[in-house]
Structure 1
Amino acid sequence: MQLLVVVTCLLAGCLAQKPKPCSSPPLLSGDLTVATQNEKMWTNAKYLYDALGQRVRIMETVMYENTTFTFDALLLFKEATIYEINQHDRTCKKSPLKGDFHPMAIPKNASLVGQIILGSSSGPGQGLLVNVWWGDLPEKAGKFMSTVTEFGCIPVSTVYHTEKFGWVQTTFFNNVVGIPDPGQLNPPAYCLDDGMKVEEEEPTDFLSLFLNKL
């Protein structure tokens, strides 16, 4: 009985600790949705995230003004390069990538909004304990609010505001720690052809690259 009381007290003490800013696992994969306020855009995508190699791949289905199309992009931040991949036609377009890699993390200067339970606390497995944070985007580009799990710092959702796009909301789901097929974070062989088309324009970030195609 005494052991049970001690364990209960220790558990309560852990849960009572104030959440601290955290970093998500360096290797993640899963699904996400992105919706922008000003552009009336909704995106459903599979993502691969490698913070160690600073590589991100987004394979998405996009709805924009009642039009649906697909988009596959590999962002290699260390090489400052974006590959737009068409697996069906085995073609590729290479463009310069302008901008720094920003890892999935809660900045140290972020403010804790609160700790909440998504779902219900009425029974085991009915709810998810998350922390909600608020702060400034890098270089004071706008404000953000991010929700991550208390255990593991797995991203749940992020909302941020910029002058160019208005409010942008990203929701993460089906997250898996790790990348089942790391080869998908390397350009396909046909993307390395010397005769491949190279674009001269310099998108500032992924949203700019994507919206330029609309």
Structure 2
Amino acid sequence: MNVMKSLLLLSLVLLLIWTGSCSAQRPRRCHTPPLLSGSMSVSAREGQDWAFAKYRYDAIGQRIRVWEFGTHESESFHLNMLFLFREHVVYSMDYKNRTCQKNPLHSAFHPSHIPRNASWLAQVVLGGSSAPGEGLLVNTWTGDVPETAGKYMATVTEFGCIPVSTLYYTPQSGWIVTTYFNAVTGIEDPEQFIPPPFCDDVEIEEENLDFFSGFFSL
């Protein structure tokens, strides 16, 4: 189960570093909208593992909220986490049992952008191109991730810098397929970045977490 949770987090991280925009002639690197809401699905191990998540991304306040459910080796799991980078803390919350775990967070916040080593691959229309509204104009980027001996292919919209899909490969995990959808610029309910009342009196754990180990710990 921890493996699938880490895969979904990895897909969220890819969202935060691969999204870009394009010019009329050739795509140029840029940042995503500073406030973004949306959903994603993740599939790994040829569909044996899968997860679905909703996310809220706030680059202004340096905050990320994630709700997730999925299966790993036929076992279901749920996840609800709040990352507050300026406060250097991450909350793991269970609303059903009204329990909360609070850990130090020692990861720096990095606004979404296309890495310098990314190479533009192609521009295509998803769907049809015979009439307006039939298709979506997108650009695909590729690159390597030396830290994990990995490689990726990320597709984003021509207009708006919105992520569409990513393919990510490492020798350890194989291929991970992520699809992003229902993206909306802005945050409808900013209170989603406020810890619930049952987290108020929770003592902070001694274990230090970064953006990846926050998922591993569950």
TM-score range (shorter-chain normalised) is 0.7 to 0.9
Report sequence identity in percent: 52
CA–CA distance in 2 between the matches of 1:204 and 1:39? 28
1:210 aligned to 210, 215, 218, which one? Answer: 215
Structure 2: how far apart are the matches of 1:122 and 1:108?
A: 35
TM-score, normalised relative to structure 2: 0.79
4+ aligned runs moved over 6 Å, structure 1: none
Aligned-pair distance for 1:32?
0.8
The residue type equivalent to 1:209 in the other structure is G
SS in 2 for 1:198: coil
- RMSD value, Cα: 2.6
Gaps of 5+ in 2: 1-21
Question: Residue 76 in 1 paired to residue 84 in 2?
Answer: yes
C-alpha spacing 1:31/1:136, structure 2 compared with 1 (3 Å)? same
Structure 2 vs 1, CA of residues 102 and 145 (structure 1 numbering), >3 Å: closer, same or farther?
A: farther
1:184 is paired with a residue of what secondary structure? helix
Change (3 A) 1:169 1:209: farther
Q: CA deviation at 1:202?
A: 3.5
Q: Which has the higher contact order (CA 8 A, sep 6+)?
A: 2
Q: Deviations over 1:19-68 (max 9, x none)?
A: 11121101000111123449953110111001112211111112111122
CA distance in 1 between counterparts of 2:95 and 2:184 reads 24
Say if 1:125 and 1:25 are closer, same or farther in 2 by CA, change over 3 A.
same
Deviations 1:156-185 (CA, angstroms, capped at 9, x unpaired): 112333455343332210000000001101
Q: Distance in 2 between matches of 1:117 and 1:87?
A: 42
TM-score in terms of structure 1 length: 0.80
Distance (whole Å) between structure 1 residues aligned to residue 25 and residue 192 of structure 2: 39
Q: Deviations over 1:109-155 (max 9, x none)?
A: 42101101111112221110001011234857632221110001111
The answer for the alignment partner of 1:8 in structure 2 is: none
Q: For structure 1, list consecutive stretches of 5 or more residues without a partner in the other structure.
A: 1-13
Aligned residues of 1:39 and 1:165 also touching (Cα < 8 A): no
What is the total number of aligned residue pairs between the two structures? 197
- Alpha-carbon distance, 1:105 to partner: 1.9
